[in-house]
């Protein structure tokens, strides 16, 4: 998702979301704004939260975004170099 607001607004919104919830239930949060403005964020609220699950989730989100970016770059190179169609 691309957000038209300023990158700082995303962090302010995440801080407000965390602030509105019970601190005892907070188990972590992440917010990434990529150079193209894509926002990846999630806050975890679970008193029984699992640290391994948190980091696995963050890792998966980053891996998917990285793979998508690599595919876009490869398609762009392919289009420029061979005049062909992008992979589907």
- pTM for the whole thing? 0.71
pLDDT above 90: residue 68: yes
Which residues lie below 8 Å from residue 41, measured CB to CB, with a gap of 6+?
10, 14, 29, 30, 31, 32
Mean pLDDT, the chain, integer: 87
The more confidently predicted of residues 3 and 17 is 17
Domain map (residue ranges) of the chain: 7-82
What is the band of 76 on the pLDDT scale with cuts at 50, 70, 90?
Answer: confident
- Averaged over 24-37, what is the pLDDT? 92
The more confidently predicted of residues 81 and 12 is 12
Q: How far apart are CA 23 and CA 21, in angstroms?
A: 6
């Amino acid at each position: 998702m691309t957000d038209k607001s300023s990158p700082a607004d995303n962090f302010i919104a995440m801080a407000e979301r965390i602030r509105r919830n019970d601190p005892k239930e907070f188990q972590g949060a992440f917010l990434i704004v990529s150079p193209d403005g894509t926002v990846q964020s999630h806050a975890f609220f679970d008193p029984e939260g699992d640290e391994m699950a948190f980091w696995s989730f963050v890792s998966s989100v980053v891996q998917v975004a990285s793979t998508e970016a690599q595919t876009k770059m490869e398609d762009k190179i392919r289009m420029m170099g061979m005049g062909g169609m992008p992979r589907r």
